[in-house]
Structure 1
Amino acid sequence: MSSDLLIYALTASTALYLIALLRAISDQKLRAIPTVGGSSLPILYHYSIVRNISRIASISREGYNKYRGRLFKYAEPAGWRIIVTNPQHIEEIARASDDVLSLAESVNDMTQIVYTMGPEIHHHQWHNALIRGQLTRNINRFFPEMHDELVTAVSEEICVEDSSWKEVGVKDSFIKVVCRTSNRVFVGLPMCRNADYCDLNERFTMDVVKGALVLKLFPALLRPLIARFCTNVPTNIDEGIVHLGPAILERLGKHGELGDKWTDRPNDMLQWLIDNAPPHERSVRPLVLRILSVNFAAVHTTTTASQNRPISSPLADCSVWVRSWTLALQILTQIMYHLAAYVDPLRAEVEAVIQEEGWTKSAIDKMYKIDSFVREVLRMSTSSSSVNRKALKDFVLSDGTVIPAGSNVGAGSYLRHFDDAIYEDASVFNPWRFCLKRSEDQSGTKGLIVNLGPDFLPFGHGKHGCPGRFFAAVEMKAILAHVVVTYDVKMKEDGALPSSRWIFTALIPDQKAKVLFRRRQS
């Protein structure tokens, strides 16, 4: 054997040995964390994943009861999921440095953003600052337009004109309401009312998440190849260019021609993206992808209340930009299912506030029963894991437990939300639960939806708490307030709520259930 070949062989052998050693050390650290929902033996791991598809809630409860205050783990497609339930540990994870516990890499593991949306979206999320900054600061200014759009959209989607009861598919109707209301702020009229454009945003979300589910079935080395065949995202972008390309080109032209002297530039998300895009993204295709990505975040959150439907199951955390639309769609679906028994007190509050304030954001902020109702739905409908992170380095908790590099870790949100020691009669839906908490808090903010803490985790916690939650909260509450003063609502079978089911970490409301609406009679 030549000396070169010997060196190569020794180098390769050493590398393989080190990899095996590091894996063994990591496995040893993982073995120190109790397993629920299956065996930690490698040969049984994939079997555990299949068994856990619909059992996350039950195995999480098992782990919570057995190892209260400690950590446990269960198998999922992205690897072992470590669950922390101690509030101190939740705070430690939420505060950890991004180069040790990474939210971005956790979300990439779950949604395969590098392949489904592209490496630019994953590695350069500069649009997050726009959601955190301009969008939140401008909610008050945008509210009249949002209210105008949601009133028009609800009327057209529910389409109830008389005193007769009409069956309405809540999920299908309200995803359009949320899409239109959000896009009134994102791209403005008339595009927000373009049915094909709204359908595109729904398909884009579906394609991204379905693509992620498929990709996670294959080894990482094969994913670049598989991604070419399992997602329609490039086609979605092409369609988005048809819808938004002319407006983007016109705005880019004026931006280049007038610069800071362009005083009447539009004030919407699309324009903020144009103004803040790095030079290599200041063109039609990258900007279309960004606006589709923002829609993926906004619409998916407002309608579904958990991480965000089967397609929302990978969205087990509120990534800085992913959670708003998803959560809101699930939440609005669940809200309408719970609404029938509570229309009258909600209606009385809305009418009293509107009489004083009119339809303004300030009025929405003063609807405390509306806020409590929505927050209670969120509490009972959230995903099983929140504050999700991927360990890039070993992370040692205050009790000495090691979260090994390469592991995924999250807070047991579902477990804490249903703990009777935290919430009295936690399994009972109490729409006024947070009104009481607010009355106990002299600052008057304790019970509000947007407040984060280790006992309320739908929007994450800590520095990466969902920045879109302020927009999503106003949107959800405004839609609910409009519905209760405009319509009578009841379930098709009095008192019978549609069933929900667990798909991995997400609690999915019945997608086909219908609610009865009619024009308000009194």
Structure 2
Amino acid sequence: MLATLATPVVLDNGFVLLAVVSLILGLVYRAYSPTGFSDDLSLIREAPGKKHFSIWTRISFYFNCASLYRDVYDKFSKRGMPVLVPTLGTRKEIFLPYSSMKWALSQPPSVLGMWEAFNEMFQLGHSLGDEKYMIDTWPHLLARHVLTQELDEYILAVHEELKHAVDTRFGTDTENWATLDLLDTIRMVVNQVGSRFAVGLPLCRDEEYLRLLMSAIDGIVESAGVTGFAPTFLRPLIGSLASSRTRGRLAKLEAKYDPIFKERIRIMQSEKPEASDPTDLLQKMMRYAQKNRPDELETSQMTKRLLMANLGFIYQPNFAMSNMILNIVNSDAEYGTISTLREEAATHLLIFGRGRNSCPGRFLVDFQLKMMVSHLLTNYDIKFPDEYQGQRPPNRWLLEFIFPPRAVKVMVKRRAAV
């Protein structure tokens, strides 16, 4: 989950300085803070009975996390044992073995829920001004209902938008190859398609809006990353400073939404039946707020609610989709991966499930990813640039996150009529 939500922007720029400051503050802070976990838990790479991680273990998290996680797997997970592992700033996490998965998934949210963990991760009290945008999750519950009970009403519109987004950004030239920045292109395609579900036409095709929305989402994640480096007692100060640009982006986003929100309120106050409402999540959210959260039916709060919904629908698929394309293009020709997938895309759309604490946007993400792969492989030829010599550039580790290669390129050409 963290790997899909973290951004390399804040971690690449000034990462070493943040890591060093974090380590110094952490060493001072740990002397005055309890571990917060059972004394029976082992600490990775520490002697039995140790209560705190050494500076070398924390350094290994920042600069050689792959090796640290290999030790977690080899020495604990494979043996069915939990272990405590250092993470960002002064945080610690319990790594459960696979044998505990059934137990974890069976626990009710009151015992093992995701929203409290997400609240700690995102630190929304600083960037959005109130933790309720993560703790009071009514838009997510509403989205879950829409995406499970009413999904058929949205599929055709989402598919239409995906074709428009892909054809616009990948091009329609059947004669010449175009070289694309894969990550940026996929980000904008996913953003546009997710926005079709969230706010509908014409806003989902407004390039300025799409860039602004993505920068606001990036700001939430960047602020969370910077604030997470700091000990708890410093987070109010660090969080306020780190969120200053995010607040500016939110103000611009509010200005973009304001006339749309007012028009939607006018629709709700008219004599028209709800069946004639615009078919998008925003309208569902506003109807719900009108009946159940009237104090939130104003531009500032609805902007933040919609931003958090978009984070799930738009941000998560970017890295997954980029990696899928890179892996497909890199597949051995002898296995005929692309031709097999093209054949399968013509007749199948596989569905896979999740646990009870899964993100409600997974249903939309499932359809997005599969429809995108299907449309791309059916209508485009894709290859690596010549300078890659037919080899996929390796992913990169940054803390515990694994990202697609930075600025990775692909070459695309529209296939002749098929």
TM-score, scaled relative to structure 2: 0.82
Distance of aligned partners of 1:148 and 1:261 in 2 relative to their CA distance in 1, 3 Å threshold: closer
Report what 2:297 is aligned to.
282
Structure 1, residues 342-374: CA drift from partner, whole Å, max 9, x if none?
2211112234x2xxxxxxxxxxxx23xxx5xxx
Higher Cα radius of gyration: 1
**Structure 2 Cα separation of the partners of residues 497 and 294 of structure 1:** 33
Distance of aligned partners of 1:22 and 1:197 in 2 relative to their CA distance in 1, 3 Å threshold: closer
Structure 1, residues 194-240: CA drift from partner, whole Å, max 9, x if none?
11111112111211111111112223233223322211232222112
Contact 2:123 2:131 in 1 (8 A): no
RMSD of aligned Cα (Å): 2.5
**Structure 2 Cα separation of the partners of residues 37 and 503 of structure 1:** 20
Alignment of 1:26-41 (within 5 A): 26=36, 29-30=38-39, 32-37=40-45
Which piece of structure 1 moves more, 183-192 or 99-108?
99-108
**Structure 2 Cα separation of the partners of residues 45 and 244 of structure 1:** 49
Report what 1:509 is aligned to.
404
Letter in 2 for 1:280: D
Contact 1:70 1:86 in 2 (8 A): no
1:100 pairs with 2:111: yes
Structure 2 counterpart of 1:350, from 337, 342, 345:
345
1:477 pairs with 2:380: no
Contact 2:254 2:300 in 1 (8 A): yes
1:501 is displaced (CA, Å) by 1.8
1:153 is displaced (CA, Å) by 1.1
Contact 1:336 1:515 in 2 (8 A): no
1:451 pairs with 2:353: yes
Alignment of 1:117-516 (within 5 A): 117=128, 118-231=130-243, 232-258=245-271, 261-277=273-289, 278-301=293-316, 328-340=317-329, 341=331, 342-351=337-346, 353=347, 366-367=348-349, 371=350, 448=351, 450-452=352-354, 462-492=355-385, 493-516=388-411
Report what 2:84 is aligned to.
73
Contact 2:312 2:359 in 1 (8 A): no
1:486 is displaced (CA, Å) by 0.8
Contact 1:93 1:101 in 2 (8 A): yes
Letter in 2 for 1:337: L
TM-score, scaled relative to structure 1: 0.66
Report what 1:63 is aligned to.
72
Which piece of structure 1 moves more, 479-488 or 147-156?
147-156
1:44 is displaced (CA, Å) by 5.0
Contact 1:73 1:81 in 2 (8 A): yes
Which runs of 5 or more residues in structure 2 are unaligned? 1-30, 332-336
1:22 is displaced (CA, Å) by 10
Letter in 1 for 2:241: F
**Structure 2 Cα separation of the partners of residues 43 and 61 of structure 1:** 20
Which runs of 5 or more residues in structure 1 are unaligned? 1-19, 302-327, 354-365, 372-447, 453-461
**Structure 2 Cα separation of the partners of residues 294 and 51 of structure 1:** 34
SS, match of residue 43 in structure 2: coil
Letter in 2 for 1:200: L
SS, match of residue 382 in structure 2: strand
Contact 1:135 1:269 in 2 (8 A): no
**Structure 1 Cα separation of the partners of residues 159 and 273 of structure 2:** 31
1:251 is displaced (CA, Å) by 1.4
**Structure 2 Cα separation of the partners of residues 274 and 37 of structure 1:** 51
1:475 is displaced (CA, Å) by 0.7
Letter in 1 for 2:405: D
Structure 1, residues 437-484: CA drift from partner, whole Å, max 9, x if none?
xxxxxxxxxxx4x223xxxxxxxxx32122211110111110111111
Report what 2:61 is aligned to.
52
Letter in 1 for 2:134: H
Letter in 2 for 1:346: L
Letter in 2 for 1:62: D
Distance of aligned partners of 1:73 and 1:203 in 2 relative to their CA distance in 1, 3 Å threshold: same
Which piece of structure 1 moves more, 97-106 or 186-195?
97-106
SS, match of residue 73 in structure 1: strand
Contact 1:201 1:296 in 2 (8 A): no
Letter in 2 for 1:83: F
1:137 is displaced (CA, Å) by 2.8
Letter in 2 for 1:109: E
SS, match of residue 267 in structure 1: coil
SS, match of residue 272 in structure 1: helix
More helix by share: 2
Contact 2:174 2:413 in 1 (8 A): yes
Distance of aligned partners of 1:177 and 1:491 in 2 relative to their CA distance in 1, 3 Å threshold: same
1:43 is displaced (CA, Å) by 7.0
**Structure 2 Cα separation of the partners of residues 268 and 478 of structure 1:** 19
1:172 is displaced (CA, Å) by 0.4
1:177 is displaced (CA, Å) by 0.6
Letter in 2 for 1:120: K
SS, match of residue 463 in structure 1: coil
Structure 1, residues 70-103: CA drift from partner, whole Å, max 9, x if none?
111211125221111142x222222224333332
1:246 is displaced (CA, Å) by 0.6
State, as a whole percentage, how many aligned pairs show the same letter: 22
Distance of aligned partners of 1:514 and 1:160 in 2 relative to their CA distance in 1, 3 Å threshold: farther
